[in-house]
Amino acid sequence: MRIVYFTHSLASCWNNGNAHFLRGLLRELACRGHAVTSYEPEQGWSRRNLVAEHGDLQLTRFRARFHQIDVRLYGESPDPEEMLHGANLVLVHEWTAPELVAAIGAVRKRGGRFVLLFHDTHHRAVSDPAALRRIDLSGYDGVLAFGRSLAEVYRRNGWGRRVFVLHEAADTRIFFPMPSDERRKGIVWIGNWGDDERSNEIRTFLLKPAHDLGLPVDVYGVRYPDAARRQLEEYRAVYHGWLANIDVPTVFARHPFTVHIPRRYYASLLPGIPTIRVFEALACGMPLVCAPWEDSERLFAPGTDYLVAADEGEMRRHMRALMNDRDLRASLARSGLERIRSRHTCAHRADRLLSIHAELAMPFAGVA
């Protein structure tokens, strides 16, 4: 089968968390014998920023690690007819330019013999619903939503049974437990500062409790304005800048545990949707403590796979326990890792996607 995916960027994970899961998913499909092509804009902002800050080295590393995927760039005037030639399954990510989203749908409406899915892994459906309504999805066969609460938004907008939940998952070819080092020290947090969506939460659930306990904090990510960096300095946290996703397991291995701080949209308006960092940390056997979010879909076992802190005081108690209790760390690592391996790998999501395709492709069966 020929699978085509339109993404903002697969090659660059600079401020582009979508790339983490998509790389693993598409490589899994390619390793199963499918011909997988990914299209991305040559002037996409993630790719531009990565090259401006780090040159071409990281793109070279990506190509070496994910050589199974045929990644192609397109310019200002892409030709959807040519790009979709021979495709059986086409997926279009929500960050794709609206004009191209519509043009791809038009090819499907003109008789394109492929299943066409819109893939939403973002909060814009609730944070900017007007913008999403302006996207023409009339030619699409269905929607993939990365959580049940987001799927419900689409169902309320008329998609009904044509909405399918496809959670993110860990790429276990990259994310797995690294050799343990009992000299591990402090806390690591990997995440972008972004648009001030969780600045208070970062202070409450990371910087203040760690500072009170005298624990060193290493912070990785991008889009940290001067005020954010000053705040890190105030709490004696060390800012390291951008970190390539393929290097995250190595950084995890230098620390005893990590913290998950969801953006406010995922803690309130889209409850039940964990970000990719939860899957990746647990896949590395990394003890994890989370700021409040509701696992309403029961993807994990809170308290067993990871700890949850309701407030700053509870976060401080969890941090102290994780630093001092080796058995607690081992128990969390064991349970979280087993949860990932049994339910939340890119292989599991590839199975799910192929079953969705089979369901929607049934009208094509037996037709020449």
pLDDT for residue 196: 75
Cβ partners under 8 Å of residue 130, min gap 6: none
Using an 8 Å Cβ cutoff, are 91 and 6 in contact? yes
List the chain residues with pLDDT less than 50: 366-368
CB 146 within 8 A of CB 168: yes
According to the 3-state scheme, what is the secondary structure of 316-347? HHHHHHHHHCHHHHHHHHHHHHHHHHHHCEHH
Residue 314's pLDDT is 98
CA 174 from chain centre, in angstroms, equals: 14
The answer to whether the Cα torsion of 140, 146, 148, 152 is positive or negative is negative
Residue-level pLDDT at 182: 60
d(CA 85, CA 325): 57
Structure tokens at 110: 């003109």
DSSP-based three-state secondary structure for 68: coil
Q: Report the chain's terminal Cα–Cα distance, integer Å.
A: 16
Which pLDDT score is estimated for 181?
A: 59
DSSP code for 192: -
**Residue 78 tokens, joined:** 């892409």
The one-letter amino acid code at 242 reads W
Tokens of 167: 């959670």
Structure token pair of residue 233: 């300095």
Using an 8 Å Cβ cutoff, are 272 and 300 in contact? Answer: no
Which phi and psi angles does 287 have, rounded to 5°? -55, 135
What 3-state class would DSSP assign to 320?
A: helix
